[in-house]
Each structure stands twice: as structure tokens, then as C-alpha cells.
């Protein structure tokens, strides 16, 4: 069996450039006002997977995401960069899932796929919880290595991984199967490849095919690699109680707008004394050093 890697990815609203319409009156994210993008750290995760594939002949990368039908966009995006195939977990019954319910659904899907290695971004820029990766590992009962910066060595049953921690790096060895989450200090993802883009741009999920005005029947028959599988609650054999709102213990109690006000200001002149003062301030407040 070839070495199988599942990359967990999420389509997120681009919270890096928020305008005034970014939040709704009730304090939730206004997804319509923000462009939907590939979660940045998940791209770092994909790059790590691609580097593993570069080193292991015949390794296969499967991109797995959960979300509304349009999340298929990031599956294509991953294919343009070198992922071999993708699965989209989508079902109305998943709506409102918190990290616990999400990781339950994802762990069921990963179990079906039986990979040697699961790679996820550390956290998503919408929720910033960093919980889904570790929770999936726990549910699958496999080891997890978080904050990965680089896979140093790899063979089919063991990986040596460099972790980026707050005050340094740590090198660990771990047996497969395992799950790793990738830190933003890891290398950015390689660009989309022109040939892969042209090859996979017609990749579609069943729900997308229903919406298409053009007839895709022939293309889908001749090119089976263009089919992106969709998994529903039934496909995953999931217990609906553990999904959606009922499966999500996290409840938003209150949301507050925080306005950061300047408390006091200091005027500095560009001389040795004031620079000395500034450096001490910056070191004390851990901005530098």
C-alpha cells in the first residue's frame, strides 16, 4: 500500500483584511462580506505533505475538508498545488458544529481513509482555537505532534519532526500513524502549478455538477480523477447527536466589542538617552528580546 497522507483543510473568511461589515450586529462573523480563502496554516500543512510526497515514491495526498458545498473550492486549490484527490464532508446536519463536533465528523472520515499520516494547520484564522487537530488525534487514538515546523526525516513507519515552541525548538521522533499540526513558521506553500490547474480546474463535487449549466457527463466518465467525493452524515455512519448544535457543548455566551484606547503617550527625541529608554521598554514588554 502506498504511503497515504490526509491533509485537513478549512475554508475560512479572510479575517486579515476586515472592513466595517466584517461582523454582524449579533456579534457573529459576516461570512458574506469577507472573501473565502484557504486557511493559511493549512497551506503550510499542505506544503509539508507535498515535501513528504517528494521524498516517498508513490505517496498519495488526500485533501479533506468539512463545510458548505462551496468549500470544494479549496479542494481544487489544493489539487492545483499537488494534492491527488479530495473529499468534502458536507451535510446540513453539520451546521453549527463546534470543534468537538467537527473533530468527531473528521475523525470518522479519516478512519475511512486509513492514512499513515494526518497533517493539519495549527489553527484556523476564524476561530483560532487550535483544537480540531489534537481532538481528531485523540478520537482516532493516534499520537499527535503539534507546532511542527519541518519534517526532518521520514520512512514508512517513523518520522522525525522539528517543533517550533515558544522558547526554542524541539526534535521528536514518532511512529506512524500519527497526526501533526503545522506552525506558521513552516515554509509557505508552493505555488499553483499551471499544468495541474489546467488538469483539475473541472474537478467537481456532485452538488456542484447539479448546479452546472454545461454538460459534464462525458468529461466525468472519461476523467474519473475529476470527481470530488462528498460525504454526508449517512456516508460517515455518524451519530447525529454528536453533530451540529446538539453535539456542540461550546455556547457563545456574550460578545463584546473592544475598542482599544490609547492610555498615555510618550514623546521621544532621537538621542541616546531616549533610545536607551525605548529599548528597555521594548525588552520589558517582551516586544523584542
Partner 1 sequence: MENFYKDNPSLKFHLKHPLMEKIIRLKENDFAEKDKYDYAFQDFEDALDSYDKVLEIVGEICGETIAPNAESVDHEGPQLINNEVIYARGTQENHDTLTKAGLIGMSLPREYGGLNFAMVPYVMAAELVSRADAGFANIWGLQDCAETLHEFASDEIKKEFLPRFNNGATAAMDLTEPDAGSDLQAVQLKATYDEQKQQWFLNGVKRFITNGDADISLVLARTEPGTTDGRGLSLFVYDRKDKALTVRRIENKLGIKGSPTCELVFKDAPAKLVGERRMGLIKYVMSLMNSARLGVGAQSVGIAEAAYREALKYAYEREQFGKPIINYPAVYEMLSVMRAKIDASRSLLYETARYVDIYKSYSFIQEERKLEPEERNDAKHHTRVADALTPLLKLFASEYCNEIASEALQVHGGTGYMKDFPVERLFRDARITNIYEGTSQLQVVAAIRAVGNGAYLKLIREYQEHHVKPEFEYLRNTLIDLTDDFEKLSKSVLEAKNNELLDFHARRLVEMAGYIIMGYLLLQDTHRDVEYRKSAEIFIRKAKTECASRAEFIRSFEEKNLGTYKITWE
Question: What's the 3-state SS for the chain?
Answer: CCCEEEEEECEEECCCCCCCCCECCCCCECHHHCCEEECHHHHHHHHHHHHHHHHCCCCEEEEEEECCHHHHHHHHHHHHHCCCEEEEECCHHHCCCCHHHHHHHHHHHHHHHCCCEEEEECCCCCCCCCCHHHHHHHHHCCCEEEEEEEEEEEECCEEEEEEEECCEEEEEEEECCEEEEECCCCCCCCCCCHHHHHHHCCCEEHHHHHHCCCCCHHHHHHCHHHEEEEECHHHHCCCHHHCCCCCCCCCCCCCCCCCCCCCCCCCCCCCHHHHHHHHHHHHHCCCCC
- CB of 14 or CB of 230, closer to partner 1: 14
- CB of 225 or CB of 277, closer to partner 1: 225
- CB of 169 or CB of 219, closer to partner 1: 219
- CB of 33 or CB of 196, closer to partner 1: 196
Stretch that binds partner 1, among 191-199, 236-244, 254-262, 269-277 (CB under 8 A): 191-199
Mask 195-214, x = binds partner 1 (CB under 8 A)? Answer: xxxxx-x-------------
Size of the site for partner 1 (CB under 8 A): 15
- CB of 139 or CB of 223, closer to partner 1: 223
- Nearest distance, CB of residue 288 and partner 1, angstroms: 23
Q: Residues 192, 209, 235, 242: which binds partner 1 (CB under 8 A)? A: 192
- Nearest distance, CB of residue 198 and partner 1, angstroms: 4
Give the footprint of partner 1 on residues 161-190 (CB under 8 A): 190
- Nearest distance, CB of residue 217 and partner 1, angstroms: 14
The answer to whether residue 19 forms part of the interface with partner 1 (CB under 8 A) is no
- Nearest distance, CB of residue 244 and partner 1, angstroms: 33
Stretch that binds partner 1, among 105-113, 161-169, 171-179, 194-202 (CB under 8 A): 194-202
Pairing of strands 11-13, 36-38: antiparallel
Binding stretches for partner 1 (CB under 8 A): 190-199, 201, 219, 222-223, 225
Amino acid at each position: 500500500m502506498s504511503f497515504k497522507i490526509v491533509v485537513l483543510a478549512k475554508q475560512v473568511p479572510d479575517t486579515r483584511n476586515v472592513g466595517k461589515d466584517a461582523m454582524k450586529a449579533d456579534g457573529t462573523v459576516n461570512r458574506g462580506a469577507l472573501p473565502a480563502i484557504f486557511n493559511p496554516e493549512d497551506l503550510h500543512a499542505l506544503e509539508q505533505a507535498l515535501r513528504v510526497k517528494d521524498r516517498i515514491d508513490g505517496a498519495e495526498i488526500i485533501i479533506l475538508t468539512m463545510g458548505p458545498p462551496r468549500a470544494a473550492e479549496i479542494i481544487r486549490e489544493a489539487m492545483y498545488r499537488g494534492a491527488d484527490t479530495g473529499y468534502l464532508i458536507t451535510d446540513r446536519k453539520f451546521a453549527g458544529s463546534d470543534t468537538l463536533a467537527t473533530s468527531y465528523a473528521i475523525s470518522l472520515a479519516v478512519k475511512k481513509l486509513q492514512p499513515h499520516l494526518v497533517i493539519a494547520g495549527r489553527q484556523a484564522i476564524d476561530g483560532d482555537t487550535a483544537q480540531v487537530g489534537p481532538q481528531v488525534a485523540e478520537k482516532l487514538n493516534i499520537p499527535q505532534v503539534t507546532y511542527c515546523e519541518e519534517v526532518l526525516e521520514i520512512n514508512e513507519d517513523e518520522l522525525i519532526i522539528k517543533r517550533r515552541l515558544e522558547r526554542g525548538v524541539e526534535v521528536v521522533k514518532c511512529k506512524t500513524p500519527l497526526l501533526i499540526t503545522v506552525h506558521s513558521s513552516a515554509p509557505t506553500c508552493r505555488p499553483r502549478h499551471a499544468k495541474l490547474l489546467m488538469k483539475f480546474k473541472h474537478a467537481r463535487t456532485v452538488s456542484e455538477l447539479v448546479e452546472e449549466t454545461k454538460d459534464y457527463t462525458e468529461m466525468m466518465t472519461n476523467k474519473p480523477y475529476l470527481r470530488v467525493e462528498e460525504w454526508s452524515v449517512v456516508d460517515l455512519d455518524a451519530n447525529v447527536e454528536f453533530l451540529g448544535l446538539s453535539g456542540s457543548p461550546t455556547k457563545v455566551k456574550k460578545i463584546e466589542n473592544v475598542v482599544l484606547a490609547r492610555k498615555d503617550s510618550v514623546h521621544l527625541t532621537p538621542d541616546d538617552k531616549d533610545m536607551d529608554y525605548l529599548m528597555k521598554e521594548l525588552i520589558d514588554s517582551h516586544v523584542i528580546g
